A and B are shown apart, each in its own frame.
Chain A
Amino acid sequence: MGNEQVRESAGARVTIAAERQARSLSQEEYKKTFCDIHPALDSKLAAVESSRCYFCYDAPCMEACPTTINIPEFIRRISTGNRKGAGIEILEANILGGTCARVCPVEVLCEQACVRNKAEDSPVKIGLLQRYATDYIFENKIQPFTRAAASGKTVAIVGAGPAGLSCAHQLSKLGHDVEIFEAKPKAGGLNEYGIAAYKMLENFAQREVDFLLGIGGIKIHNGKGLGTGVTLPELRKSYDAVFLATGLAGVNALQLVGEQLPGVINAVDYISTLRQTKNYSDLKIGKKVVVIGGGNTAIDIAIQSKSLGAEDVTLVYRRSASDMSATSYEQELAQTHGVTLRYWSKPVAINGDEKGVQSVVFEKTLKNVKGELEGTGEKFTLYADMVFKAVGQVLVPALLGEGAELLKISKGKIEVNAQKETSVAGVYAGGDCIAHKEDLTVVAVQDGKLAALAIHEKLTGRKLGLTGGKING
């Protein structure tokens, strides 16, 4: 698949004939369809849930958390009424613990590892407890962090998403000044522009950014970035180190005839617009929606299409349910929201006219003896007023501007060593723009933290280890 050179959206341009649009819902209805997917625990529920934790030794949940939050410890703190201490314990290992509590696929991370699964198939609700603890810090405007003595060093960070923000906070804590260059008008990265709306209510992404910046020493230049105002060589010259956390600005294309038809939209662009919309009735959504893809983004756009009022939403994936990068929990979530899931089918043509897309033709697939995906020749057509493409985001090195060609790219991602340093000395990278098994917020946060550790060592010659998820010293 080739890359469509799409810059991060300035908003999805949606043209769709009025008669093919689903009717707008009332504000009351939107409130319901976009309500919190996992409502917060109140103190009673938190007490009950925290008492279920066994306080395991060498706890498997902790190991399953990419940021190694000391989960038994923070849960014990909740159970003893030390909610503040619980929140701080989390944020020390994961400064975006608030977002992670809302968006982590806990069913494949911490909660999957809970020993309670073995006896009763019902893990401690770690994600919700994490939210309960961190909310206390935000609600009470507690600033638990202070900065070490000024080092006199300044680090440039490109991208204010989870990776960039995490790195910035750690560096600031360690006494370095940070300047972030962020192409978009707001900080937060996909927390602000990508994650499903029903996971991040009440402007949480910005509240969290405000909390994070509360430590001081971090300056964000919005609307400025690599390729838009600054270049990598300039940053290298003017700063003591550079951390690249640009995420993935490009999207894969299907490379099908009809892909350019009105109504065929990149899911991430649409979601980005959706996340910034004050009034959901301003958004156009088709009556019949077809989503192509098998990841988080596909699930999110399918559910949110339903939430906006689409009548029929079908998500089509070319392989099996278990091959999908969206977890089985997420697939079920889509189904309970009324999304039809179809597997083993790939799109072969998109039909329509100048007024817009009308249908998508799919061919059934199977895995041949060599394990490769193969079309069976059998076809079917799905009528569609709107088609969302959610077949993966990609790094587009060319978008990183002049001088970025020095960066070694392998398998489409920026190559880094164990210290998160790129092929260019003094330039580090983390988050979605480097290779992982799976791109997740929590993984990006960990990258930022590790990069900060490495940068600190490079700038000061002092090596700081980690105890669990926390940086020593």
Chain B
Amino acid sequence: MADLRCNVAGIKSPNPFWLASAPPTDKKYNVVRAFQAGWGGVVWKTLGEDPPVVNVSSRYGALEYNGQKMMGFNNIELISDRPLEVNLREIKETKREWPDRAVIVSLMVPCEEDAWKNILKRVEDTGADGIELNFGCPHGMSERGMGAAVGQVPEYVEMVTKWCKTYSRMPVIVKLTPNISDVRKPARAAHGGGADAVSLINTINSITRVDLDLMAPEPVVDGKGTHGGYCGPAVKPIALNMVAEIARDPITRGLPISGIGGISNWRDAAEFIALGSHSVQVCTAAMHYGFKIVSDMVDGLNHFMDEKGYAKLSDFIGKAVPNVTDWQQLNLNFKTIAHINQDHCIQCGLCYIACEDTSHQSITASRVNGQRKYEIIDQECVGCNLCYHVCPAPGAITMMNQKATLPYLNWTKHPHNPMRVK
């Protein structure tokens, strides 16, 4: 069995699976149940100053796609709506009772030095392992100059991070918002401010659905709705990209990352780890199925690592990062083409019409003895993968890499590039 122990900037946990700061980590009751189920750590639901915020009733929207519930999930909740004192007491008790698990406290207070200074001291007293700065909440808090309102301004990120490093001994994780065009900028700012790690992504501005009878966005609160934060399986691709961007950025390279966004199983987690995450955080999947999903996460990651010969997490953390590159570095002389395995083809014709109507007219449709038959025209196929993706019969279409006939050539040297390096 592989060694799943995880260490993010000195914060240690028996496995890399943490619950993200959200309702699952809102109180001791939940967190204890999570630890009993096997979670390695938690980021406590974000704490703010008293008096606590007030939440609305009806809080979540969701995207159901082809029968899959909660493909995407959105919420209009705020930070913890419980008194600070209660949270701090429960954090302290929890950490004392579960010393081997990571307990990280998420914080969001106004952008004033004293506000941070005061709360940091109180958090330190709980014995928590570290703090996470919530610069990401896209709704409700940003209107008050907190959350994403800070996260979208790199200078603020750097400033608050510095305060936290100044007034606390605890490792500081900066949680980044994806509601920004270039995530490297706040990441660099966090790094510049002395952050020990970054975590990402927080939720994405979104409206999941409009109720066409009420003519209002979901979730509907007394006839009105507002944009919420999007998360769940649908956001994973966005999160993976942002993680990779930070992992390969020359300035932030090596900065530990806690990956978040749509992680539902060990495979998702392994992908985040391969792109440079030291730990992963989960919210929606736990809210969908309960804490017991961690069992397969731990077991599946273990078997995967055994199979690949990775003895410990660091053996594959960031292993895919060197293979993430800029477009202009890709080999323009590489060619792959689609191949249809007639034994697996179910003759639905989807590949044909996709290619015929919207791609490169590289598939023929014919009838052989009355039977439908679809075949690739090798010379026409550009290897775009569209047919492969639309094909509902696994194994029917495979992409076949062609033997290289020409040497590696990228755009920077391509004859069509007017600005090519000569």
Q: Which A residues are within 8 Å of any B CB, using their own CB?
A: 43-44, 47, 55, 57, 73, 76-77, 79-82, 84-85, 88-89
Contact = CB atoms under 8 A, between A and B. Distances in A.
A79 B285 CA distance: 14
Nearest to B304: A82
Residue among B266, B295, B299 with max Cβ neighbours from chain A (10 Å): B299
Contact of B300 (A43, A55, A82): A82
A47 B394 contact: yes
A82 B299 contact: yes
A77 B299 contact: yes
B324 to A, nearest CB: 23
A79 B296 CA distance: 10
Interface string B258-298: 00000001110000000000000000000001101101100
Contacts of A88: 299
A229 to B, nearest CB: 43
A73 to B, nearest CB: 6
B21 to A, nearest CB: 24
A85 B303 contact: yes
Given A55-B289, A73-B292, A73-B295, A80 B300 contact: yes
Interface of B: 265-267, 289-290, 292-293, 295-296, 299-300, 302-304, 393-395
26 contacts: A44-B394, A44-B395, A47-B394, A55-B289, A73-B292, A73-B295, A73-B296, A76-B265, A76-B293, A76-B296, A77-B296, A79-B265, A80-B265, A80-B296, A81-B300, A82-B266, A82-B296, A82-B299, A82-B303, A84-B303, A85-B296, A85-B299, A85-B300, A85-B302, A85-B303, A89-B299
A59 to B, nearest CB: 10
Nearest to B395: A44
A238 B296 CA distance: 44
Nearest to A89: B299
B394 A80 contact: no
Contacts, number: 39
Contact of A77 (B290, B300, B395): B300
A80 B295 CA distance: 12
B368 to A, nearest CB: 25
A332 B293 CA distance: 39
B303 A80 contact: no
A81 B290 contact: no
B346 to A, nearest CB: 11
Contacts of B303: 82, 84-85
Contacts of A73: 292, 295-296
Contacts of A89: 299
A43 B394 contact: yes
Contacts of A84: 303
A57 B299 contact: no
A81 to B, nearest CB: 6
Nearest to A83: B303
Contacts of A77: 296, 299-300
A84 B300 CA distance: 8
Contacts of A76: 265, 293, 296
A78 to B, nearest CB: 10
Contacts of B299: 77, 82, 85, 88-89
B289 A80 contact: no
A80 B290 contact: no
Contacts of A44: 393-395
A60 to B, nearest CB: 16
A80 B266 contact: yes
A115 to B, nearest CB: 14
A80 B303 CA distance: 12
Contacts of A79: 265
Nearest to A84: B303
List the 5 shortest-distance A-B pairs measured between CB atoms, nearest first. Answer: A82-B300, A80-B265, A85-B299, A44-B394, A84-B303
Given A55-B289, A82-B304, A85-B300, 17 more contacts: A43-B394, A44-B394, A47-B394, A55-B293, A73-B292, A79-B265, A80-B265, A80-B266, A80-B300, A82-B296, A82-B300, A84-B303, A85-B296, A85-B299, A85-B302, A85-B303, A88-B299
B396 to A, nearest CB: 10
Contacts of B395: 44
Nearest to B303: A84
B293 A81 contact: no
Contacts of B304: 82
Contact of A57 (B290, B302, B393): B290
A77 B289 CA distance: 14
Nearest to A78: B296
Contacts of B267: 80-81
Contacts of B394: 43-44, 47
Nearest to B289: A55
Q: Which of A47, A73, A76, A79 has the most CB of B within 10 A?
A: A76
